[in-house]
Chain A
């Protein structure tokens, strides 16, 4: 079970206004792994993910989800997308209706619909009282969770999140990653799209770095840190700097724990010598 993208090319516009956004992209995502897609703003990330559930069709190449071409309606149910700016995605008068929107389109009715909605709201950790409120009276963090519940209520096999941490406080981020982690353990494939490396390195199994519509890197986070000159997280930058100035530390790490251990070891060694 996987999403497979093969030789995907895509351009906006026609004739002399044509801009090629994606150039020969090939990768696949398994149903129980989490993959980060990172890259600068304008590198084609959002355009790429719109191909994963058939919102856009490739000019050439193809996208299949569990063997089905992305033009099939089933694909839309299999792959849920959470777009940026949640406040711009909620469109019903109550939270309940908004979360029920997806399942209703896929033909779920009555008690079954009810249980889908309740399960989704529990999954994101919001109180059930919220279901009767208007989504527009919620705070930004709550809106994002409601938008996420609106995707989860259709029980997708894969879920794609575009810049999910923007506008979230650090505790909001921690909460979101907790939810994603439990989803992954239940066999849901996670695709995290971000322009901020720090936000995804920690939580993904694999990383795809897009640069100007092409895949510039694909591999594990530690492979990325070992081989890519930039961009890297601040902690990695620090470790690379220390290594350059002759202090014996590993430089392919980004977590505070790791970095602290390395620096502490190097420091104790120096101190021991003195």
Chain B
């Protein structure tokens, strides 16, 4: 479990980005974090593996506090992180070299590194690209490489910081697909995104606003709350709520795509 207790964070120039966050990420869950630009999403998740440490309050991973540098080595093996820009997080020249970077740092046996690398590459569907140069890959393939890089660390918790925001639609859905698969395999996912549609896949949504948690709940509840308070939500969701409000559609269910909404409508009409 990742636990935030009263966490505040200010930049060296005193701009405060997080205000007293209390939060728990349970094992095995899939949490998405949304919020406007500048609401503190990235700052929040960078606390999860000790890249940032709170100015006030504590963050702990499985009981180990990130304030103690002695713990960081273990924490970072448990919490893997993938970042936004596909072009500036690669460390190796080829796919397999980059994926191997993490396990190499752990000073594992070469055979173990090999197994982890090939397993992770298989998990993200990049088999056949092992020896390709990263500079010849597309943004989507680069992000998959980065993903394999954290998988090779055998991290339990995977934190994705707007990993799809520089990708096109097709690669975006491929990456999300892989993330979902990893969650089914038992990994705990924390997924920061701008794309509201991606939120539907998760168990829990956290909406950040001005450095605090504004809403925290299931996608259906969160979307409902956003809709009720006049925020923009994906068009299909907006339609669902309006149909629910006028009694055409049942309130209990939340159709997530055009097909499931159509089935729902055909039943009630």
Interface residues of A (CB under 8 A from B): 40-41, 85, 139-142, 166-174, 195-196, 198, 233-235, 237-238, 241-242, 245, 247, 254-256, 259-260, 263-264, 266-267, 270
Contacts and interface: CB of A to CB of B under 8 A. Distances in A.
Nearest to A258: B239
Interface of B: 34-38, 162, 165-166, 168-170, 194, 196, 231-236, 238-239, 242-243, 246, 248, 257-259, 261-262, 265-266, 268-269
Contacts of B243: 260, 263
Nearest to B139: A41
Contact of B233 (A170, A198, A242, A247): A170
B248 A264 contact: yes
Q: Is the interface of A mostly helix, strand, loop or mixed?
A: helix
A142 B239 contact: no
B269 to A, nearest CB: 6
A260 B245 CA distance: 11
B246 A235 contact: no
Contact of A234 (B232, B235, B248, B266): B235
B232 A242 contact: no
A266 B265 CA distance: 11
A141 B266 contact: no
Contact of B36 (A41, A172, A195): A172
A247 B236 CA distance: 18
Nearest to A236: B258
Contacts of A170: 196, 231-233
Contact of A41 (B170, B234, B265): B170
Given A173-B232, A247-B266, A260-B239, 6 more contacts: A169-B34, A195-B168, A235-B236, A245-B262, A245-B266, A254-B235
Contacts of B194: 167-169
Contacts of A195: 168-169
Contacts of A166: 165-166
Nearest to A267: B248
Contacts of A172: 36-37
A142 B261 CA distance: 36
26 contacts: A41-B169, A140-B37, A140-B165, A141-B36, A141-B37, A167-B194, A168-B37, A169-B35, A169-B37, A169-B194, A170-B232, A170-B233, A171-B232, A195-B169, A235-B239, A237-B258, A238-B261, A238-B262, A241-B258, A241-B262, A247-B265, A247-B269, A254-B235, A259-B239, A260-B243, A263-B243
Given A171-B232, A242-B265, A141 B38 contact: yes
A32 to B, nearest CB: 27
Nearest to A259: B239
B86 to A, nearest CB: 11
A233 B194 CA distance: 19
A196 B236 CA distance: 15
Contact of A167 (B166, B246, B258, B269): B166
A241 B168 contact: no
Given A41-B169, A238-B258, A167 B162 contact: yes
Contacts of A234: 234-236, 257-258
Given A167-B162, A238-B258, A256 B232 contact: no
Contacts of B233: 170
A142 B265 contact: no
B90 to A, nearest CB: 16
Given A140-B37, A260-B239, A267-B269, A41 B248 contact: no
